[in-house]
Amino acid sequence: MKSNEELLELAKEVSLRAYCNYSKFPVGACVLYSNGNYYQGCNVENSSYGLSLCAERNAISTAIAAGEKDNILKIAIYSPKSKKCFPCGACRQWLQEFEYGQNIEIILEDDDYKCCIYRLNDIFPYSFGFNM
């Protein structure tokens, strides 16, 4: 099982491959599943900004395309342009969709270049869902 530091390093690595010609704001993410599998994703922008794909959703989509069915345990998110690069609202909702009551850990880099951990339910307490 990958450590928080290893997940953050994998997010840093994939952020270098981001396609962010418009915002110039590269982001990488690495999502860890309960079976130990992990998947990386980076943001991919489009001139029609609404069609852009965030790193977090890219990583989750890659996992689903690979046949992943387990629970998401953690996701590391990194941008060289911002410490504590929190997921946007859309990505928070995506994480909630695949959360399965696990209260996913969000791993970010703090000002001292160390891992800091937040829980999805703490940063997104009132998500949309049909079982509300």
Question: What pTM value is reported for the model?
Answer: 0.94
Bridge partners of 42, per DSSP, are 28
Residues designated as active site: 56
pLDDT of residue 131: 56
Residue 10's contacts (CB-CB under 8 Å, 6 or more residues apart) are 2, 28, 30, 38, 40, 76
Instruction: Tell me the pLDDT of the chain (132 aa) as tens digits.
Output: 999 999 999 999 999 999 999 999 999 999 999 999 999 999 999 999 889 999 999 999 999 999 998 899 999 999 999 999 999 999 999 999 988 777 899 999 999 999 999 999 999 988 887 654
Instruction: Write down the domain spans for the chain.
Output: 4-123
Report the alpha-carbon distance of residue 29 to residue 46 in Å, rounded. 19
CATH number of 4-123: 3.40.140.10
